[in-house]
Amino acid sequence: MSQKVYQRIAGELEKMIRSGELKPMSRLPAERDLAAQFEVSRTTIREALMVLEAGEIIRIKDRSGAYVLPVARKSASILQSIEATPGPHEVLQMRRLIEGEACFLVALNGSRREIDAIVDANTANAEVPPDDTPEFHDATKQFHLSIAQGSENSLFVELLEYLWEQKSGPLWENWYGSTRSRQNRIAVLANNQEVTDAIVARRPQAARTAMQRHIDWMISRFLSY
């Protein structure tokens, strides 16, 4: 697999850190400045920094910036394993396309049984105990898969399964660990309910828009992490 831009930037920043150009405990330049320096988007810089944080080379502090850790604790093999996967922003962009269209199709053509399965999955997701993060993650996945299955497009199901598999790596674990909160959980459930209501009402465009709005919200959380 060819190296992605954010992976290349992560490698260049790591070299600057290991060479001493960026000193231990020092604050990295702001994302906008790094974006200008490397002539890439802020999103690309954010993904590069997430790679370095997963490798325990830097620490990202909320509303403060990214700081070089005293010692790079993990070997390069950790970064290499991250490089074999799509970036979070790529995954979310693809999900926006696939799941928005799946919502449109199931609202337009879904059978009563398929729509009932979506309603049941949404209810099960909402009923997960607040402190059970793994079960909530699994229930959320099932909700999204039930929509893909209801679209009756087998490729949507296969692609969504693949995209969810990408969420098990260290980049995602760090992101979820930093953004996990009761407030975010409430927002996810509210978004899911909006999607479900539009599907039940058989409003295809509203269903598509609701799902795209939900994933746009996730992207905004990624950018504010």
Q: Would you place residue 72 in the very low, low, confident or very high pLDDT band (cuts 50, 70, 90)?
A: low
pLDDT, tens digit, for every residue of 119-139?
999 999 999 987 778 898 899
- CA–chain centroid gap for 8, Å, is 20
In the numeric block, the tokens 């950018």 are attached to: 223
Cα separation, 132 vs 91, in Å, equals 25
5-83, which class in CATH? mainly alpha
Would you say residue 39 has pLDDT above 90?
yes
Pick from 16-25, 65-74, 98-107, 212-221: least confident: 65-74
pLDDT, tens digit, for every residue of 141-200?
999 999 999 999 999 999 999 998 887 766 676 666 655 678 888 999 999 999 999 999
Mean pLDDT of the chain: 87
Residue 221: CB atoms within 10 Å: 16
Would you say residue 80 has pLDDT above 80?
no
Correct CATH for 88-224 of 1.20.120.530, 1.10.340.30, 3.40.50.720, 3.30.160.270: 1.20.120.530
Q: Against a cut of 0.85, is the pTM above it?
A: no
Cα separation, 111 vs 102, in Å, equals 14
Please report, for the chain, the start and end positions of each structural domain, with discontinuous segments joined by +.
5-83, 88-224
Written in H, E and C, the secondary structure of 155-167 is HHHHHHHHHHHHH
DSSP β-bridge partners for residue 111 = none
Candidates 108, 97, 77, 84; CA nearest to 7 is: 84
